[in-house]
Structure 1
């Protein structure tokens, strides 16, 4: 079962208010009412892995989290989603790190504004802002006559 399906199974089991209440009582170690509705809820919670056969709460969430730890992104990946810039860092040091990553992907030849835009569009939806950031950081030089750009 995929990670997402495991989470969905747990969420679906708790979507019903009576099952959620029954699970909460199990978590707190409280005695459950002895009625047909509660027995059915316990069976459904057990099928989802939230309680054991005796109606005691399991560590289903902790186990699922341990099996699928959160991915910690580092470096420029902190600002990328699917290889594209998701956001620009606020801290100047971090922004410069991201801009250097972008600049390293530009060809080392004179580029027209359209060519710069074409290259930058591969990593952002906001080409004008990224181009301005690169120029301001001194990583991309604009020709005095505005005819082209060159990587610093």
Structure 2
């Protein structure tokens, strides 16, 4: 049985770091932490910084954790990312969000098979299944969003033009 990587932890750490770097107080606090200075006393800085689990209070960095973050970011930017990321178990409940996710999936499918191709429903279902469990919902949402055009009999689909 293949092993699956934990992508959520290192990606969560990277997201948290970059979110913190966008706030001047937290950016300064991270700088202080990296130099081993005590964290600022204000709760609005100390609280978020306490969640940075790869930076110890003495300024020491958990090198293995930082390396894992860097390797995961490199993987997610590579053509191998699709092999590491599972399918979507659920699509957002709100119609606008659901259609946006479905439209993106349909667009990716046609980028890969060729934007001018026409796919049978079975071919489209197989391609969508690489990304999401509920292929019928994705297919319907993409049509409703105007990203896919369905033949009158529902047997063929193509990417909408324009």
TM range (shorter): 0.3 to 0.5
TM-score, normalised to structure 2, is: 0.42
TM-score, normalised to structure 1, is: 0.44
The higher relative CO (CA closer than 8 Å, separation ≥ 6) is in 2
Q: Which has the larger radius of gyration?
A: 1
